[in-house]
Amino acid sequence: MAIMGKYCKAYLVSKLRQFDQWREISENVKEEKQQLDGKEVEVKRVLTDDDFLYLQENYVVTDGIFKDENIIFDNVTSEWKDFCQNTLAFEIPVYDAVQASESKNKSNS
């Protein structure tokens, strides 16, 4: 069963490809339906700069919202994290702190 993380963000492939150590695992792209000789068949799509991929909370990039399926990039290094944070402005929201603060404020009312 596919695992959905708590957070992911979509980025254009062209932005992700700016990372100098970017290496796509192209065999993991999603399949799409196409007509071939009058029959509907599933074929692997070819990623273009205008497609979107998902940067997951664990810094793995996927072709879809699930963090354990269609993994396109998984070479998570300190350089990659730095690129994500500083170039892509990727920041994982801290939901628990906000919820805890709201709960505390409600109980003090």
- Asked whether residue 3 is assigned to any structural domain, the reply reads no
- Asked whether residue 2 is assigned to any structural domain, the reply reads no
- Asked whether residue 93 is assigned to any structural domain, the reply reads yes
- Asked whether residue 20 is assigned to any structural domain, the reply reads yes
Determine the pLDDT at residue 43.
Answer: 84
Confidence tier at 109 by pLDDT (50, 70, 90):
low
Predicted confidence (pLDDT) per residue in 12-60, tens digit = 999 999 999 999 999 999 988 888 888 888 888 899 999 999 999 999 9
Dihedral (C-alpha) 43, 46, 51, 57: value to the nearest 10 degrees? 80
Question: 108 or 58, which is more confident?
Answer: 58
Q: Is 41 helix (H, G, I), strand (E, B) or coil?
A: strand
Judge contact between 71 and 6, C-beta under 8 A: no
Q: Is 35 helix (H, G, I), strand (E, B) or coil?
A: strand
- Asked whether residue 75 is assigned to any structural domain, the reply reads yes
Confidence tier at 99 by pLDDT (50, 70, 90):
low
- Asked whether residue 89 is assigned to any structural domain, the reply reads yes
- Asked whether residue 1 is assigned to any structural domain, the reply reads no
Predicted confidence (pLDDT) per residue in 52-97, tens digit = 999 999 999 999 999 999 999 999 999 999 999 999 999 999 876 5
**DSSP string over 52-85:** EEEEETTS-EESSSBTTSSEEE----HHHHHIII
Domain range enclosing 44: 8-107
Determine the pLDDT at residue 18.
Answer: 98
Q: Is the pLDDT of residue 4 over 80?
A: yes
In total, how many domains does the chain have?
A: 1
Judge contact between 11 and 59, C-beta under 8 A: no
- Asked whether residue 61 is assigned to any structural domain, the reply reads yes
